Structure 1
């Protein structure tokens, strides 16, 4: 599923590279979002193999970065070829969430 591209992003003063292998390895350390105990305040998910994960948690676990922005996480995962999904309704469907799209 991953491509030869390794998206890079900066968090704080450090630049991180994300790889498909690191993403898959990080899933072993996270509870899938489609588990019996989902987080009620998350909007963006990524499909890795057969489970959904929260984009920020997955990118932070895969890279060791802290305070990764939602937009950064979802774009990096999408660049690797992972399907990224948003849970949205009402105005979030038509206008988006400014903290996630801007």
Structure 2
């Protein structure tokens, strides 16, 4: 639920903090902070090995804005591990 996601976000350090992860592409906006979608869904559900596509679609269905960090061919072709 959206409340579960907000509670999970409260337990995580936001990606826009002083220690962002350089190799992550998909983020969900919860409140005023960005969180990596997989970390957020795993924290909210207790599941492990959540796929990026599943995480971003789940958060979007709950009404959370989801953003991708992309450049070059990622803009035109996407990342097969995230969209396929």
TM bracket (short chain): over 0.9
Scaled by the length of structure 2, the TM-score of the pair is: 0.99
Give ranges in structure 1 of 5+ residues lacking alignment: 1-18
Give ranges in structure 2 of 5+ residues lacking alignment: none
Give per-residue Cα distances to partners, 1:78-100, cap 9 Å, x unaligned: 00010000000000000000000
Q: What does residue 77 of structure 1 align with?
A: 59
CA–CA separation in structure 2 for the residues paired with 1:62 and 1:78: 14
Are residues 1:60 and 2:45 paired?
no
Q: Of Structure 1 and Structure 2, which has the larger fraction of its residues in strand? A: 1
Q: What does residue 36 of structure 1 align with?
A: 18
Give per-residue Cα distances to partners, 1:9-48, cap 9 Å, x unaligned: xxxxxxxxxx101000001111000001000110000000
- Aligned length in residues: 84
CA–CA separation in structure 1 for the residues paired with 2:65 and 2:17: 18
Give the ranges of 4+ consecutive aligned residues of structure 1 lying more than 4 Å apart after TM superposition: none
Q: What does residue 6 of structure 2 align with?
A: 24
RMSD: 0.4
Q: Give the SS at the match of 2:8.
A: helix
